[in-house]
Amino acid sequence: MWSLLDYHVHLWPHAERAEPSEQTVERLAAYCDAAARAGVGEIALTEHLFRFRAGRSAVGEFWADEPDADLRSTMAAYFDHHATADLDAYVEAVLTAKRAGLPVVLGLEVDYYAGRMDAVSGLLASYPFDVLLGSVHWIGTWMFDVLGDEVAEREWHARGVEEAWRRYTDALEELAATRACDVLAHPDLVKVTGRRPSAALVDECHDRMAAAAASSGMAAEISSAGWRKPVGEQYPAAGLLARFRAAGVPVTTASDSHGVGDVGHASAQLAALATGAGYTSLRAFRERRGHDVAILPGSAK
């Protein structure tokens, strides 16, 4: 019997700086134990690229040309706070866990950097990653999904929901077209605050998202993270998941955990969503090559 996957797992809480001393086999074993209790047989460790000094060097200070001083300073402060970890040490920690027999694969969550993805791909090509998640967490220099932030909220009101959805979808299409990553993470993240435009525009954006995934050969994740956010809904929405299935886009399952407590979160519900949409398998990865593993009755708890 094959258990489910959790292909989106972070080592550090979202708001905290990375602690290299915590990258131990014992700590990763605790993640695997939590996954097993949730019916998950394999996890992908997918820390954010922006956590690493090498990532910041590769993308540069892309916010420097932002004319809005608040957006510019907010993004600069974000990278100053987060870009502290060593990518080599992270990779070696996960590889050590793999050699110890833990059911982990080496991954990374990679944000979309307009015009800079060749530099990102060049950096990551020198490492033995199994899977790369592609994400859109900001539109230009607007970190739209930072909840409770005054600058982010100001932009929601200034730009409007329709513009946010359209520009998010533009960025997702551009990310997919680079073919730099393997899986679209939380593909309709723009709904995180619960703001939605008209049904017609939602349908238009969903059509574009599904087409982008299909044309790029990427998989898409079904994530429980949205149930822990104001939107109160999984990623992707049911309509988008149906479009992924119709377009032949494979799927993974994911918790987007930022600590051991959420590893494997709602694995049974994710399995039900996948099978309800017509999927009989999930897409797993080794050395960035995908293969399918069956979803079997009783594999989720």
Q: Is residue 299 in a domain?
A: no
Q: In angstroms, rounded to a whole number, what is the distance separating the alpha carbons of residues 264 and 282?
A: 15
Write the single-letter amino acid at 119: A
d(CA 154, CA 119): 32
pLDDT single digits (tens) 259-300: 898 999 999 899 999 999 999 999 999 999 999 999 975 544
Q: Angle at CA 16, nearest 5°, toward 21 and 98?
A: 45
Q: Are the CB atoms for 74 and 150 separated by under 8 Å?
A: no
CATH number at residue 131: 3.20.20.140
- The C-alpha atoms of residue 116 and residue 58 are separated, in whole angstroms, by 8
- Count of structural domains within the chain: 1
> Distance between CA atoms of 55 and 110, rounded to whole angstroms?
9
Strand 289-294 and strand 281-286: the pairing is antiparallel
How far apart, in whole angstroms, are the C-alpha atoms of residue 125 and residue 120? 9
Amino acid at 61: E
Written as tens digits, the pLDDT of the chain (301 aa) is: 446 899 999 988 776 776 665 667 888 999 999 999 999 999 999 999 999 999 999 999 999 999 999 999 999 999 999 999 999 999 999 999 999 999 999 999 999 999 999 999 999 999 999 999 999 999 999 999 999 999 999 999 999 999 999 999 999 999 999 999 999 999 999 999 999 999 999 999 999 999 999 999 999 999 999 999 999 999 999 999 999 999 999 999 999 999 898 999 999 899 999 999 999 999 999 999 999 999 975 544 4
Residue 59 lies in a domain: yes
| Cα 272 to Cα 93: distance, rounded to the nearest angstrom | 33
User: Pick from 232, 179, 245: which is nearest to 206 by CA?
Assistant: 245
Contact 107, 288 (CB under 8 A): no
Cβ-contact 40, 267 below 8 angstroms: yes
Contact between 144 and 156 under an 8 Å Cβ cutoff? The reply is yes
| Residue 42 domain flag | yes
Identify the three-state secondary structure at position 108. strand
Q: What is the pLDDT of residue 15?
A: 67
Residue 81 in any domain: the answer is yes
Helix, strand, coil proportions of the chain in percent (round to 5)?
45, 20, 35
Nearest CA-CA partner of 131 in 260, 215, 219, 2:
219
Structure confidence at residue 186 (pLDDT): 98
What integer pLDDT is reported at residue 25 of this predicted model? Answer: 86
Find all residues with CB under 8 Å of 199, minimum gap 6, and list them.
none
User: Which of 82, 200, 218, 67 shows the shortest CA–CA distance to 137?
Assistant: 82
Contact 285, 293 (CB under 8 A): no
13 domain residue, yes or no: yes
Q: What distance in Å separates the CA atoms of residue 2 and residue 31, rounded to the nearest whole number?
A: 18
Phi-psi region of 51 (alpha: psi -120 to 50; beta: other; left: phi over 0): alpha
Please check whether residue 155 lies inside any domain of the structure. yes
Residue 301 lies in a domain: no
Q: What is the pTM of this model?
A: 0.95
Tell which residue, 34, 42, 37, has the closest CA to residue 5. Answer: 42
1-42 tens-digit pLDDT: 446 899 999 988 776 776 665 667 888 999 999 999 999 999
Running DSSP on this structure, what letter comes out for residue 237?
P
Print the domain residue range for 288. Answer: 4-294
* Contacts for 253 with CB less than 8 Å, ≥ 6 apart: 4, 5, 6, 7, 221, 222, 223, 267, 270, 271, 274, 282
Q: What are phi and psi of 94, to 5 degrees?
A: -70, -40
Position 186 in a domain: yes
